[in-house]
Amino acid sequence: MEQEKNNSTKNVTRGAFWASIIFYGLIAFEFFYMFSPFAAYIYSIYGPGLDTLNLTGSTSWLISFFMPHIARETQSVFITWHEMIGMTLFLGGFAAFLIGAAQIYWSKLKNSGAVFGGIYNHIRHPQYLALMISSFGMVLVWPRYLVLLGFVTVCFAYFFLARIEEGSCKQRFDGYGDYCSQTGMFFLPVIEQLFYKLPWPHKRWSRIIASLGLYLCVLMMAFSAARAIHLYSVNNLYTYTTEKEVYLSLGQIDADEISEMVHIVKSDSSVAASLVEFQDPDQRFINYVMPASLFVSEVPMYIPEGQVPTHEWPSNKDQSRYKIIFSLAHFSPESQAKDLDILLRAINKTPVLEVWIDRSSQTIEKILNSTPDQYYEGMPVPVF
């Protein structure tokens, strides 16, 4: 009977572990396929789910980005380098996970029982901690509110998985109870002692309700922090705004320079004629400003045949020739915005017009009519 109980616990633990891995993996995988040659095809798998969230303002914010993905250069060092920081955490956490896994499987090969040494000497679940660090890195690399939701969820899942495993190990391995009293679950004991002092109910259903309440509180704090970062990010972009338009530069350039290019463009009669049909007072625009030699897949623009879109640093490109891509901003049904709020609330955009400028001669080089999105037509991708 005891053996059956242990096997049952082990199966539950293993099933819950892989369920959490798959759950967060589906979200994290979005980042990797967005940089693969098959991005457009794989992204369509996620399209229906994202479109469903897009139907109402109460859920559309979940698919928004709270840090830039398209804009490579900002006025904030942290915001500019957040993807690099995130990738470092992701790879570092994954490497730590492999080290912990190596210790576990080496112990199994030697049939030496529970692992108490190495990185397990101070904390009992370094593998779960490593996965949490890796998952947080993914939040920075691909900062959708939805990914943040996944991160908080799997952190709680890892905690309960760890508790289940410890109950099983205490039954199977002599001295495991003493080992638990001398080590921390995820952090050093001196840190975790602070949490042990918090009151916690003893009855099962009371613990379940308290755990759910704690999860919701942590989730609200995480979303509040992300919203603050969202505001900070938008305010540190290189932009020039009017009531109905945001001109967003992907690289470092001041508002006066953007304004000068806008003046050149708006003064051209052909451009004015092309934009005349978009005079509805309720329409809002996100207009992307970048070097003419930069091509980005998430911005609906003309991309020459054979040219591969990239996320290169705009400052490394030729600064004498620029382009402005005019796009109509889309919002959830209940939302409307003006000025920088356009970037905060927009959930997608539609191409309108593309204008190339020779900055040295201050002339229009070419005007291209709206180009169908070659990669993510109608799909909700980052707007800044």
Q: What is the pLDDT of residue 112?
A: 62
Q: Decide if pLDDT at 19 tops 70.
A: no
Tell me the range of 16-20, 93-97, 115-119 where mean pLDDT is highest: 93-97
Of the pLDDT bands very low, low, confident and very high (cuts 50, 70, 90), residue 373 is low
Q: What is the pLDDT of residue 334?
A: 56
69-96: pLDDT as tens digits: 889 999 999 999 998 998 899 888 888 8
Q: What is the mean pLDDT of residues 37-61?
A: 57
Q: What is the pLDDT of residue 226?
A: 94
Q: What is the mean pLDDT of residues 126-131?
A: 83
Of 45-49, 153-157, 236-240, 321-325, minimum mean pLDDT range: 45-49
Q: What is the pLDDT of residue 4?
A: 47
Percent of the chain with pLDDT over 70: 74
CA dihedral 100, 106, 111, 115 (to 10 degrees): -30
CA 216 to chain centroid, in Å, comes to 20
Q: What does residue 148 show for φ and ψ, rounded to 5 degrees?
A: -60, -40
How far apart are the C-alpha atoms of 293 and 284, rounded to whole Å? 26
Q: What is the pLDDT of residue 53?
A: 63
Q: What is the pLDDT of residue 27?
A: 47
CB 261 within 8 A of CB 297: no
Q: Which two tokens stand for residue 270?
A: 């052909």
Of 10-14, 94-98, 303-307, minimum mean pLDDT range: 10-14
Q: What is the pLDDT of residue 1?
A: 43
Q: Decide if pLDDT at 125 tops 70.
A: yes
Q: Where are the domains of the chain?
A: 2-234, 238-369
Tell me the range of 37-41, 88-92, 159-163, 182-186 where mean pLDDT is highest: 88-92
Q: What is the pLDDT of residue 38?
A: 41
Residue 328's DSSP bridge partners are 285, 350
Q: What is the mean pLDDT of residues 162-177?
A: 76
Q: What is the pLDDT of residue 269?
A: 87
Percent of the chain with pLDDT over 90: 20
Q: What is the pLDDT of residue 250?
A: 93
Q: What is the pLDDT of residue 39?
A: 46
Of 242-256, 260-274, 360-374, minimum mean pLDDT range: 360-374
What SS3 state is found at 242?
coil
Of the pLDDT bands very low, low, confident and very high (cuts 50, 70, 90), residue 17 is low
Residue 285's nearest CA partner among 327, 240, 347, 331 is 327
Question: What is residue 248's DSSP assignment?
Answer: E
In DSSP notation, 314-381 reads GGGS-SSEEEEEEEEEE--TT----TTHHHHH--EEEEEEEEEEETTTTEEEEEEE----SS-TT---
Residue 250's nearest CA partner among 314, 186, 162 is 314
Q: What is the pLDDT of residue 67?
A: 92
The arrangement of secondary structure in 238-369, i.e. its CATH architecture, is Roll (3.10)
